[in-house]
A and B are shown apart, each in its own frame.
Chain A
């Protein structure tokens, strides 16, 4: 039973962790876009 619980904890940590990382990357990219659009900043 220990292996069953440990196995499930590992896989759900991976899935929730990946979802949180994606959510965080979306948030960061949206903030960066808002800032760049506001500043109108362009590098050549």
Chain B
């Protein structure tokens, strides 16, 4: 896992270099286009993380193995972090090019709703003591939350708004963007394994202290 950590930070470092030194400024936005590389990368990881949460939730509801519940929780935590990063980079970018921090337009609003749903998911998890009940309730909330992901993705196409639905990028910009998305994906893999390890160790501590089954 340590090797994956080094690989994650190496690819992230490469992505940063490409974003700042290799990719050119854009004709209209100038240097501010450099937000794109990590804004899109973090949005992709957020969708991926919530997708893994949804998949693990289905597996938990089907097989009732607590391992899947831990997968769902670990991935949701990372999804919340990267949705927050998407919102924050979007706000800084909006301030730089639109001259406002926030606009209540479809893509931004649905992303904020997605973030709130998964913050609620984590709060619900911490509020329910019984593991079985916590797993079932969290799985249902996780699936409902994931249903919002396609809405976020399609929001600009369905309802318009200021957020661009797509963009035509120059060759070097595409390279920098793809490397950023790859870097964030590797980073997600590392953080997921680390978050999972935390949950397994804390489960083991609970088992040693109070007795009962670990899984």
Contacts and interface: CB of A to CB of B under 8 A. Distances in A.
A3 B33 CA distance: 12
Nearest to B74: A22
A3 B96 CA distance: 6
Nearest to A29: B201
Interface string B67-99: 000000000000001001100110011011000
A34 to B, nearest CB: 10
B31 A33 contact: no
B194 A22 contact: yes
B176 to A, nearest CB: 14
Nearest to B41: A11
Interface of A: 1, 3-4, 6-8, 10-11, 14-15, 18-19, 22-23, 25-26, 29-30, 32-33, 36-37, 41-44
A18 B81 contact: yes
B99 to A, nearest CB: 11
The A interface, classified by DSSP as helix, strand, loop or mixed, is helix
The B interface, classified by DSSP as helix, strand, loop or mixed, is helix
Nearest to A8: B38
B35 interface: yes
A19 to B, nearest CB: 7
A11 B38 contact: yes
Nearest to A18: B81
B92 A4 contact: yes
A15 B198 contact: no
B197 A26 contact: yes
B187 A15 contact: yes
B205 A36 contact: yes
Given A14-B81, A19-B194, A37-B208, A7 B201 contact: no
A4 B36 CA distance: 11
Interface in B188-215: 191, 194-195, 197-198, 201-202, 204-205, 208-211
A11 B84 CA distance: 9
A33 B208 contact: yes
Nearest to B194: A22
Most buried by B among A4, A19, A41: A4
B96 A33 contact: no
Nearest to A10: B88
A19 B44 CA distance: 19
Contacts of A29: 198, 201-202, 204-205
Contacts of B187: 15
30 contacts: A1-B31, A3-B92, A3-B96, A4-B34, A4-B35, A4-B92, A7-B89, A10-B88, A10-B92, A11-B38, A11-B42, A11-B88, A11-B89, A14-B81, A14-B88, A18-B81, A22-B191, A22-B194, A23-B194, A25-B198, A25-B201, A26-B201, A29-B198, A29-B204, A30-B201, A33-B204, A33-B205, A42-B211, A43-B211, A44-B211
